[in-house]
Amino acid sequence: MQTKIFAPALIAALLAGAAFAADKPVAVVNGVAIPQAQMDYILKQLAERGAKDSPELRAKIREDLITNEVVAQEAAKKGLSKDADVQIEATMAQQNVLLKAFVQNFQKTNVVSDETLRAEYDKLKAQMPSKEYKSRHILVETEKEANDVIAALKKGKKFEDLAKEKSKDPGSKANGGDLGWAVPTNFVKEFGDALAKLSKGQVTPAPVKTQYGFHIIKLDDVRQPQGPAFDEVKAGIQQQMQGQELNKVIADLRAKAKVE
């Protein structure tokens, strides 16, 4: 298993206030101890991604840490730790770590209650459209072609067959003009308005003109949208609401900050 190479000693040395527990080191490289805390941190990160702790994994991590330390020491000998770009990158790395820690701490300490989440779920559910429509269409270039299709339908020709034969819409033509389930607002206004006026099984009596051409629309079915269950979207709502609150906190911090 490939392990991620984390910040080498060169970067760690530049991070203000960086400290590790005084425990038995993983290894000592040229007199410099690699603390066990680094090993534990990497194991924790890998475990969160599904990796299983094992002697082989620990051995691989140890080798990577030693390699990092060897290279970092050599870079320090060459004076790279004094390089302006390296120092800027180290400062920004520390800032990013703190930003991540701030967000994680906020999420842990600002958990939204199930009651509030349920209320938000009900609010979102109430905003859902009352109906979904399963429709088909035949798209042609001219009004004359559209009227010819309508005439053929009146003579008993199947809508699906005409769609496969005449429609210019490559996305639905092969499926007999099938557009699946959708709400009228998913379509351009002229199409959506015409669709909403149809009854189940009905075809538009006249061609519907849009920016794409002329449509003959058939409504196959209508249903009440079910929407996902609360448990399916609970985590997403939690994340969204926490994100909104976090943005408010950050905006407040910005407003109070003295920026010159």
For residue 231 the two structure tokens come to 């448990």
Nearest by Cα to 80 from 6, 10, 7:
10
Which residue shows structure tokens 């958990």? 111
Phi, psi of 194 (to 5 degrees): -65, -40
Say if CB 135 and CB 182 are below 8 A apart.
Answer: yes
pLDDT digits (tens, 9 = 90+) for 171-221: 999 999 999 999 999 999 999 999 999 999 999 999 999 999 999 999 999
Q: Is pLDDT above 70 for 152?
A: yes
Beta bridge partners of 215: 139, 208
| pLDDT computed for residue 159 by the predictor | 98
Domain 126-223, second-level architecture:
Roll (3.10)
Distance CA 39, CA 42 (A): 5
Q: Length of the chain in residues, anyone?
A: 260
> How far is residue 19's CA from residue 143's CA, in Å, rounded to a whole number?
76
CA atoms of 106 and 209, how far apart (whole Å): 52
Q: What is the pLDDT of residues 21-34, one digit of tens each?
A: 446 899 999 999 99
Residue that the structure tokens 């000998």 belong to? 77
Q: Could you tell me the pTM of the whole model?
A: 0.60
β-bridge mates for residue 28, sequence order: 33
What residue segments make up the domains of the chain, in order of their start?
9-109, 126-223
